[in-house]
Each structure stands twice: as structure tokens, then as C-alpha cells.
Chains A and B, each alone.
Chain A
């Protein structure tokens, strides 16, 4: 076994950031699996990529723009009918607790 790449605490922090709740068993298992996976993908660390530009897409295109012309809108009733909970034409959620960051 090499050095551990991800600890249980980091794994828990990542889960919280992703809004996932893990049981103790899951946390244990995921920590081990993530550690193994990260160990494997770490082979990219050995590569010399100095001076290389990152590739976002393989597509060599830019400046894709759309004219500012209004199009169709969705039917509100159709959308809200499939929402988990709706009220007064809006999506209803439990208290949000804090302002947006």
C-alpha cells in the first residue's frame, strides 16, 4: 500500500459538498474505493505535461452565437404538474435556511 490519497474525513467533506449523505458503511467502503481509484489515475502525475494547453473539447470551433429572438416557452401547468410540490404557480420547497452565497 502506498500513501493514502483520500482520508475518511475528506471523503465525508466531499460527500457533504455534493449533498450526499453516506452511512458509516458507505463512507468506509467509498473511502477505500476512491483511494484505490485515485491511486490508479495518479499515473497522470508522472507525465510531463509542462507547457501543454488543456483540451476542453476536441472541437476547433469558437463563437457559437444565437440571434436574440424569442422562442417557445414551456407550459407552466405541464411543468408544475410534474414538480414534487407546487403552489401559486411556483415550486414549493422547505425553508432554505440561508441566503444564496
Chain B
């Protein structure tokens, strides 16, 4: 059942939230050992939440648009009374004393939290292999990675553990695993969804978004979690129209650009073929298609890499063993900080903290961080020019289908390349989503990325719905 179907059934009393959650928990029970999508399955809390939903329905109250819908939360979203680890030893056992804004919103909409999903440590990675608690496997092929960093969330949806999940996307961490697991993944416009309670990786790039089996489900979740939040300074102050309302409006007359810079070199031929098929489907539905160019997008990965790591190096300083999480004792506080951080962070996190520290340090700031912020301006400007001619842009989400576990762990550079198509969107603060569009030569899912200008979500979702329908 989809989230939309579940909530209609629960709200109308046709089905109890408890039975829905029971089913979700038993699916998890059957498949979790193989997939390892979760760091924590919160069965008891979920059942209690479900009972509360059922009580409300019985009392004639409306539990909300996600009544009884099981939701998997990425383990970097703070949940009061439920452990939040970011898949890191340094936060192992930490229980936040507060809820993230999105968690509050989902709860108030009747959603039920079945657990916290596995991820690359502090969202740093593209395969969910950088988890302190072991990798997640791709439910479509257990020898493959699910992508990352929201690999646990994508795998949970793909495995049917929950119809929807939340992830976070700093450079592609929702879209790339969605593509590799064959689900829908949305990176909303920066500021559309509050980041309050999302454990920060790179503050100017992070954004929370839904992963779901269907476009309509992802639209419904996005409508619940988006909106102004006084606790996040970077939250957009004006409420936006719900994307669900215009989901069926089609693409007739829309100008769609095929993003040249992200569709050529380095894209696997089978992936490119599926993107062409998707473009054909949009054209068949009435869109006007042409080639589009965002020249600076090719520098996205480099600029992203410097900016994200610089911000991360500062954001992750607070894990020092003083207030929460891991402490490895030493005779002095500086020694304790160092011992704690050295034992608590994994390799990839250390590597990125070092790159970021270096990029900000005296004598290098202008050459690296300062310059990257200017390249970011170039990318923003180039996108702005493209939006004068196009309503939407299309590209592959990931250059390849899911790769094998261990294939790229020893070569950070090849791992980073899996984000080449997704990072420019984060740098420009725009919206994008990945929609599954068939499979590649290996039988594994391919995702098509739809890019929209800032706050272009309603139009973006119309195109996603057209693509989804064209496959049926």
C-alpha cells in the first residue's frame, strides 16, 4: 500500500494504524537481517504511536494526512527519546532531548516512526559503507550498495519496510540512493524544509527531503514537512503552495532542457539511454525539449568538495567528548578531545575534516574556500541563464547504476564521482528529484534527475508524475 492509500484507509476507519504498523514491522523482521537498513527499529514506540492514531480515529478526530503511515527516519534527524547516532561511534547511545522540526510535523500529521535508518557517517559518503554500524545492502541486489548517504532510507523504501522515509541531501544524498534503489527521492529548494534538528554536515547545502515508492507519496510527505520555521534562520518565510494539488497537471507546453554538461562524458551508456527515453516520454506528453547548457556545472564537484568539507570541519568540532556522546579519557581536556575524536570518527569523516580544516586555514582560505564560493556564484549565474529558457532541466541522477560493495571504498575520488550530477543543484540551492525510470543493462534501477529553479517544486512534481505514469 502507498502512503496515500494507508492514510485514506486509516482516516476512514477501514484499517487500523496498528495493523499497518504491524505489517511494516513484520516486513522489517523478515528482511532487515539481509538489508540492514536500520540503526534502530523502534517497534514499541511505533505501536504506541499507532494505537494513539487509532484512538483518535475512534474518537472522531482527524490524525492528519499521514495517518498511520510508517515512516523511516534517517539517523541524523533528532528524535526526542529515540537514539540518534549519524552512524557514528562518537554519537553512539546519544538520545536527543528534542525533536527536529520535521519530526514534529510528521508526528502531528499522524505518521508513525518505525526506526532510524543507516547512513554514511555524518552523511559523508555515497554508498552507506561509511557507517560505523556496517553497510546497508541494496534490496534490488544484495551484492550492491544502496547508494548514500541516505542509503538506509532508500533501502527501507525499496524493501517495503516503510512506504516513505526521510533523508538529507547535501550533494546528492537523497537522489543518488533513490536512483540506485529504484525509488523517488526529492531534494527540495534550500530553505523550503526546516533544518532544525538535522545534524549538520554542510549547513549551506543540507536539505531534508522525502524518499518514497511513488511520486504522490513523496509529494504528500513534502507538503507536510515544508514551510516556514522560526527556529531555522535559513527557512523561507513565505508558505508555498502544496505540490500535491497540481500533481496531475501534466507537462504540456513546458520547456524542458537536457543538461548537456551532466549527460555526456562519464555517463554509462545504459543510464544515458534511459534518460533519453524519459526525455522522449516528456516530449510525448507535450513538453518542448531542447539541449541546455550550464557550463560551470562541471566545476560543481570541486567547489562542492571544498565548501562542504570546510563547513563540516567546523560543524563537527563540537564532538569533543565534553557534553554528550563518546569520551575517551586522557589526562587533559585537549588530550581527551583528541583521543575521543580519533577513536570516534571513521576514516572518511577524518579525511573530510582535514580537507575542510586545510581549506579554511591561514594562507589557504582565498585559494580554496574563498575561490570555491566564487565558483559557486558562477554556477548560480549559469543556472539563472538556463532558467530564462527552460522551466525544467533533465539529467541522469547517477552516472552508473548501483556498484558493488567494496568497489570504491579504497578510492575516495571514484566515490565522489557518483555525485557529479547532483552537487550543482545543492550549490545553487535549487530543487531536484530523482524518479526511477526502468533498469540498466545489469537489470538495476536507473534514476532520472529533474531539476527545477528555486521553489519550482510544483512544476517539477508534474514532470515526475508524467514520467511515473509513462512507465505504467
A residues contacting B by CB (< 8 A) are 6, 10-11, 14-15, 17-22, 26, 30, 33-34, 36-38, 40-45, 47, 49, 52-59, 61, 64, 66, 74-75, 78-79, 82-85, 91, 93-97
A18 touches B94 (CB 8 A): no
**How far, in Å, is A83 (CB) from chain B's closest CB?**
6
A-B contact pairs, 25 of them (CB 8 A): A14-B354, A14-B361, A17-B361, A19-B320, A19-B341, A20-B345, A33-B412, A36-B413, A41-B372, A44-B371, A47-B375, A49-B371, A49-B374, A53-B377, A59-B191, A79-B97, A79-B323, A83-B324, A84-B324, A84-B326, A93-B322, A93-B333, A93-B336, A94-B331, A95-B333
The B58-100 residues at the A interface (CB cut-off 8 A) are 94-95, 97-98
A19 to B340, CA, bound (A): 9
**A11 in contact with B354 given A47-B378, A84-B327 (CB within 8 Å):** yes
Closest 6 interchain pairs by CB? A58-B429, A54-B373, A84-B327, A49-B374, A41-B302, A55-B376
A40 touches B413 (CB 8 A): yes
B residues contacting A by CB (< 8 A) are 94-95, 97-98, 190-191, 204, 230, 233-234, 236-237, 299, 301-303, 305-306, 313, 317, 320-327, 329-339, 341-342, 345, 347, 350-351, 353-355, 357-358, 361, 367-368, 370-378, 380, 412-413, 427-430, 454
Chain B residue at minimum C-beta to C-beta distance from A65: B233
**How far, in Å, is A35 (CB) from chain B's closest CB?**
11
A89 to B336, CA, bound (A): 21
Contacting residues, chain A, for B236 (C-beta < 8 A): 59, 61
Contacting residues, chain A, for B355 (C-beta < 8 A): 34, 37-38
Q: Contacts A21-B342, A54-B377, A91-B322 given; 13 further ones with Cβ under 8 A? A: A18-B317, A18-B357, A37-B305, A37-B413, A41-B368, A47-B299, A56-B373, A57-B234, A59-B236, A83-B324, A84-B324, A94-B332, A96-B334
A66 to B334, CA, bound (A): 35
A33 to B61, CA, bound (A): 58
Select A34's contact among B299, B303, B351, B428, beta carbons within 8 Å: B351
Contacting residues, chain B, for A85 (C-beta < 8 A): 327
A44 touches B97 (CB 8 A): no
Chain B contact residues: helix, strand, loop or mixed? helix
B334 touches A97 (CB 8 A): yes
**A20 in contact with B354 given A54-B376, A83-B324, A96-B333 (CB within 8 Å):** yes
Chain A residue at minimum C-beta to C-beta distance from B93: A82
Contacting residues, chain B, for A30 (C-beta < 8 A): 350-351, 354
**How far, in Å, is A93 (CB) from chain B's closest CB?**
5
A83 to B324, CA, bound (A): 5
**How far, in Å, is B421 (CB) from chain A's closest CB?**
17
Chain B residue at minimum C-beta to C-beta distance from A39: B413
A19 touches B190 (CB 8 A): no
Most buried by A among B330, B355, B368, B454: B355
**How far, in Å, is B232 (CB) from chain A's closest CB?**
9
**A59 in contact with B234 given A44-B302, A44-B303, A79-B97 (CB within 8 Å):** yes
A82 touches B299 (CB 8 A): no
Most buried by B among A19, A57, A59, A61: A19
Chain B residue at minimum C-beta to C-beta distance from A80: B323
Contacting residues, chain A, for B94 (C-beta < 8 A): 82
A59 to B355, CA, bound (A): 26
Contacting residues, chain A, for B325 (C-beta < 8 A): 84
B376 touches A19 (CB 8 A): no
Select A94's contact among B335, B345, B361, beta carbons within 8 Å: B335
**A44 in contact with B306 given A52-B374, A75-B97, A83-B323 (CB within 8 Å):** yes
